[in-house]
Amino acid sequence: MNTQEPKVTVIDDDPSVRKAIARLLQSAGLQVATHASAQEYLEQYDPDAPGCLVLDLAMPDLNGLALQDALATRGNPPPIIFLTGQATVPDSVLALKHGAADFLTKPVDESTLLEAVRSAIAKDRTERSKRAEDAEIAQRMAMLTPREVQVLRYVVAGNLNKQIASELGTVEKTIKVHRARVMEKLKVQSLAELVMLAAQAGITASHAPTIHA
Amino acid sequence: MGLNLINDVWLLVAGACLGATVIYFLPSPIQTRRLTSNRTALHESQRRMDLASEAAAVGIWEWDFERDDIWVTDQTRILYGFGPKEPINLNRFLSALHEEDRDAVREAVTQSLKDGARFQREYRIALPDGRVNWVVTRGRVEVGAEEKRSVMRGISLDISERKLANERFREVVEAAPTGMLIIGADGRITLVNAQVEKDFGYSRRELIGQPVEMLIPGRFHTQHLQHRARFSAAMSARPMAINRDIFGLRKDGTEIPLEIGLNPIHGSAGVEVLASIVDISERKRREDQLHEDRAFLRQVIDINPNLIFTKDRQGRFTLANQALANIYGTTVEGLVGKTDADFNPNADEVTWFHKLDMEVLDTLQKRFILEEHVTAANGKVHWLETVKLPVLNADGTADHLLGTAVDITERKQVELDLAQQRNELAHLSRVMMLSELSGSVAHELNQPLMAILSNAQAALRFLAQPDPDLDEIREILRDIVNDDKRAGEVIQGLRLLLKKGEIRMEPLDSNEVVEDVLKLLRSDMLNAGVICTIKLAPDLPQINGIRVQIQQVLINLIANACDAMMDTVAAERRLLITTTLDSSNCVQIGVSDQGHGIPADGLERVFESFFTTKQQGLGLGLAVCRKIVDAHGGQLWAANNAGGGASFYVAVPAYAGVQNEHAGT
């Protein structure tokens, strides 16, 4: 889990606008970084740094939309709040289609901006923690042997040990051992937990034929 | 009677030879002979008579015409070339005379004998040695007075010298280039010279002895007689007819203008008048011609619609024509001696005129004033195009100047109307242009507004904190002020662009104009993905222009350039803006794009009204731009670049400072 403070990065080629927005965000207790151009930002881009972007749409050389594309190709882009002096419908549609968090027209009132920034940060946090959790589960899953994965699939499908042993041509006791291992490796205490984790990890259930005792 | 004769002789001798100063006693020889029988006395008497006769160079004679015997003194013999003892009778006397005079003298003698009249005659004597002497002889017949004899007594006097002098005088008179007349006391002509014959068309034979009025037109006769009487009463040399034209009457009845000088001549025949006469027809004709020429020239300058005048150093008009008089509401005569200040209610104009007048007089340089104005007496302002030049004295200085001015009021009015139309069109086109630019303009305005709002709200938040950082807040406020000013400038620029009327030429820095325009267009260029490079020449001279219109031209050119690069690949959308000073001292602004270029036949047509290649566009932009640049005395043209794309150039002459322009315009 990443423990860095979220940071708002302001990118605007107009120094006074850049400075003013940074101040406002700072006054609201936010961590702020500023850049005069999209290139400058890309050069020091840290995908692991949490936060969001406040990005001017119209900039020389590399404009806001171009930066959005560039970040998208690198994967897991931070949420982007676009600012524009002259919003055109095609630009805003394009930006939102490509996942813009928000699209604001200058001048922007603090409440609007701060709300947009906070929700973007929250979104980023959610996404990041989800990504971290997924990674953790994936890591645990990777510790299972293929046999254990087989057993897990039957378990999450609700089969009894006896049924699983029969399906796999072994004894119930062996299945019991596998099951305990899986619970241990995946760090779960109950069957319910195990089922949820498996679902989270995308493990599909294997159903054994119904055995009538 | 004897005493009379003595007195006569005495007087004659005195008068003819010596004037009134010396008087000789001259007894009559016959008296002498009669008075004494004493031979010595007689001899003495004869000797004295001879002495007196000789001393006075007077020959005395007595002719007993009944016996045809002439007694003469020795001086008489010398005078006539007679031998010392030679007896003399009438024939011998006549034979001594010049043959041309002989008959006339004979006739006169006969006439005197017949009517007893006094004989007086001048004639020539042909001396044996070939010389010719002039003598004057006077005599009188005495019938049976003494010793019952009838005689004619008299004297002969050598007047050759006088005659010679006379002859010279006549020759001089004859040869004189002016006409000369001598008029006797009786008003008759006694002498004329060749010039008079020529001037009046008469021969002298026709004139001599005639009353001088013959040469004067009838209408002046009475007047002339009065004048002549007055002249006779107070004779002194003087010219005739001062301040009055006098005319002579020629034989052919025509009249000639004359100038006449009068000189009294006191002579033996009484007081005569020498009149010198100059035919002034030619002079008069020339004077009339001159007068006519002057009148004609006067008319020429007066009908001339241009103003024509001369002035002295004090600014006084020494000549002025009707056109100027009309403007100043006076007459041409009324202007002379007066100055502009006497008529012109506009003191600035008067000062301006005088300043220029003095410059012309002091530098001796001609000055052209392309435009100046003069306020007429009725308050109307006339525009003039004026030339002033010094009128040089012989020493190269000048005290007067000559000025002519064309009244260009109408032309100026047309120009002003055209300028107004052009400005209105330019304004309309600007409004349209700005509506296209409104997005860009909004951006330029929103940037500072955004900064102000954010700064202000940040400051409020800082202040709400328990221990606010006042330095930070101070800095924020400073930034707010700056951004507010920036917004104000944008609005000001917009207002100027949209403003109507009050258009004025001012010295402009072209680089500054370029930078102002780029500020306005920055976001449009960003949106169009255009990369703009500027290369501005340092130390450019200023141009004289209307800021908003030059900006308009540049905005048009840059917007067109951006439009032209819509289909150019992003990396090639480059715009180059340059300023340079060209070889003809024009400031040149170039706008080069990397767009599709212009078809060769369109390089000129793009400046035509309603020519456009754009979907939305009236096609007025460049046409208006060209009008604007023309009005600035500059040029606007297009060319295709060698490496693709097109370039537009604006060239406007560098501003040379105030030049022959009325300060008060």
- Least confident range from B346-355, B403-412, B441-450: namely B441-450
Selected residue with higher pLDDT from A146 and B18: A146
Distance of CA A164 to the CA centre of its chain: 36
Q: What is the pLDDT of residue B536?
A: 93
Res A87: pLDDT: 66
Q: What mean pLDDT comes out for the span B480-490?
A: 90
Given pLDDT bands bounded at 50, 70 and 90, which one contains residue B616?
Answer: low
Mutate which: B436, B447, B454, B473, vs A, most A CBs within 10 A: B454
**Per-residue pLDDT reduced to its tens digit, B285-296:** 888 889 988 999
**Is B449's CB within 8 Å of A19's CB?**
no
CB B374 within 8 A of CB B327: yes
**Cβ contact B592:B575 at 8 Å:** yes
Residue B419 CA to residue B409 CA, distance in Å, equals: 15
User: Would you say residue B663 has pLDDT above 80?
Assistant: no
B591 alpha-carbon distance from chain centroid: 59
- Residue B609: band (very low, low, confident or very high) from pLDDT cuts 50, 70, 90: low
- Backbone phi, psi, residue B390, to 5°: -75, 145
Q: What are phi and psi of B158, to 5 degrees?
A: -75, 115
Residues of B with CB under 8 A from a CB of A: 439-440, 442-444, 446-455, 457-459, 461-462, 465, 472, 476, 479, 482-483, 486, 523, 526-527, 529, 531
Tokens of B504: 């004025």
Higher per-residue confidence, B234 vs B614: B234
Q: Which of A118, A122, A88 is nearest to A103 (CA)?
A: A88
Check B476 against A88: CB less than 8 A apart: no
* First vs last C-alpha separation in chain A: 47
Concatenated DSSP letters of B207-257: HTTSBGGGGS-GGGHHHHHHHHHHHHHT---EES-TTS-EEEE-TTS-EEE
Give the confidence band of B610 by pLDDT, cuts at 50, 70, 90: low
Q: Which residues of B touch A83 (CB under 8 A)?
A: 450
CB within 8 Å: A86 and B449: no
CA distances from B442 to A154, B435, B492, B497 (A): 65, 11, 14, 15
Residue of A nearest to B450 (CA): A107
Q: Does residue B617 surpass a pLDDT of 70?
A: no
Kindly determine whether residue B442 and residue A85, on different chains, have CB atoms separated by under 8 Å.
Answer: yes
Cβ distance of A16 and B440 shorter than 8 Å: no
Confidence band, pLDDT 50/70/90 cuts, at residue B360: very high
* pLDDT for B433 beyond 80: no
pLDDT reading at B5 higher than 50: no
Q: What is the pLDDT of residue B287?
A: 87
Over pLDDT 90: what percentage of chain B? 28
Predicted confidence (pLDDT) at residue A13 exceeds the cutoff of 60: yes
Give B315 or B429, the one with higher predicted confidence.
B315
B473: Cβ–Cβ under 8 A, 6 or more apart, which residues?
B459, B462, B463
Inspect the interface and report whether the beta carbons of A85 and B446 lie closer than 8 Å: yes
Distance spanning both ends of chain B, measured CA to CA? 109
Contact of A125 with A6, CB cutoff 8 Å: yes
Structural tokens at position B297 = 């020239």
Residue with tokens 């009149």: B275
Tell if the CB–CB gap between B451 and A19 is shorter than 8 Å: yes
Question: B160-214 pLDDT, tens per residue?
Answer: 888 888 788 888 888 888 888 888 888 899 889 988 998 899 998 999 999 988 8
User: So what's the pLDDT on residue B463?
Assistant: 93
In sequence order, the β-bridge partners of residue B317 are B311, B336
Interface confidence, given as ipTM, is 0.77
The tokens describing B406, both together, are: 């064309």
Average pLDDT over every residue of A168-175: 88
Go through B561-595 and write b for each residue having 16 or more CB atoms within 10 A of its CB, e for each that does not. Answer: bbbbbeebeeeebbbbbbbbbeeeebbbbbbbbbb
Supply the mean pLDDT for chain B: 82
Our CA-based measurement puts residue A184 at a distance from the nearest CA of chain B, in whole angstroms, of: 51
CA-based nearest residue to B180, from B167, B192, B197, B189: B192
pLDDT tens profile B384-425? 999 999 999 999 899 999 999 999 888 888 877 777 777 776
pLDDT tens column, B214-263: 898 988 888 888 877 777 777 676 766 555 678 889 999 999 888 888 88
> Please, are residues B156 and B136 in contact by the beta-carbon 8 Å criterion?
yes
CB pairs under 8 A between A and B: 92
A66: pLDDT confidence band, cut at 50, 70 and 90?
confident
Q: Strand runs (DSSP E) across B393-494, as ranges?
A: 398-407
Write out residues 69-108 of A within 8 Å (CB-CB) of B: 83, 85-86, 88, 105-108
CA distance A39 to chain B (A): 16
CA angle B535, B541, B542 (to 5 degrees): 100
Least confidently predicted of A30-39, B96-105, B545-554: B545-554
Report the residue of A8, A26, A27 to disrupt the B interface, i.e. the one with the largest count of B CBs within 10 Å: A27
pTM to 2 decimals? 0.46
Mean pLDDT of B101-115: 88
Long-range pairs for B353-357 at CB < 8 Å and ≥24 separation?
A: B353/B315, B354/B315, B356/B388, B357/B311, B357/B315, B357/B388, B357/B401
pLDDT in the model for residue B37: 52
Mean pLDDT calculated for residue range A23-45: 93
pLDDT at A211 exceeding the cut of 60: no
Tokens for B328, please give them: 């100043």
pLDDT (0 to 100) of residue B659: 45
In this complex, is the C-beta atom of A182 within 8 Å of any C-beta atom belonging to chain B? no
Closest chain A residue to B452, measured at CA: A20
Each residue of B341-374: b (16+ CB within 10 Å) or e?
A: eebbebeebbebbbebbeebbeeeeebebeebbb
Residue with tokens 């259930």: A205
pLDDT exceeds 90 at position A10: yes
For residue B36, pLDDT beyond 50? no
Q: Do A60 and B457 touch (CB under 8 A)?
A: no
* Residue type present at position B5: L
Mean pLDDT calculated for residue range B109-131: 87
Neighbours of A106 (CB within 10 A): 26
Among A212, A213, A209, smallest CA distance to A168 is for A209
Residue B3 has pLDDT above 50, yes or no: no
Q: pLDDT band at residue A166, thresholds of 50, 70 and 90?
A: confident
Q: What is the pLDDT of residue B186?
A: 85
Residue in B496, B492, B490, B537 with CA at minimum distance from that of residue B514: B537
Residues of B in contact with A109 (CB under 8 A): 453, 457
CB B446 within 8 A of CB B523: no
Give Cα A159 to chain centroid, integer Å. 33
**Is the separation of the CB atoms in B39 and B52 below 8 Å?**
no
E strands, B454-573, where? 506-508, 531-536, 543-545
Between chains, do A27 and B461 touch, taking CB under 8 Å as contact? yes
What distance in Å separates the CA atoms of residue B309 and residue B321, rounded to the nearest whole number?
6
Q: In terms of Cα–Cα distance, which of A66, A64, A47 is closest to A4?
A: A47
Residue B78 has pLDDT above 80, yes or no: yes
Tell me which residue in B447, B458, B479 faces A14 most closely, judged by beta carbons.
B447
A159 pLDDT band, cuts 50/70/90, is: confident
Whether A21 sits inside 8 A of B444 (CB atoms) is no
Q: Of B383, B381, B386, nearest to B408 (Cα)?
A: B383
Q: How many helices (H) and strands (E) are present in chain B, helices listed first? A: 19, 23
Task: Report whether pLDDT(B615) > 80.
Answer: no
pLDDT of the residue at B612: 62
For residue B459, pLDDT beyond 90: yes
Classified as helix, coil or strand, A213 is coil
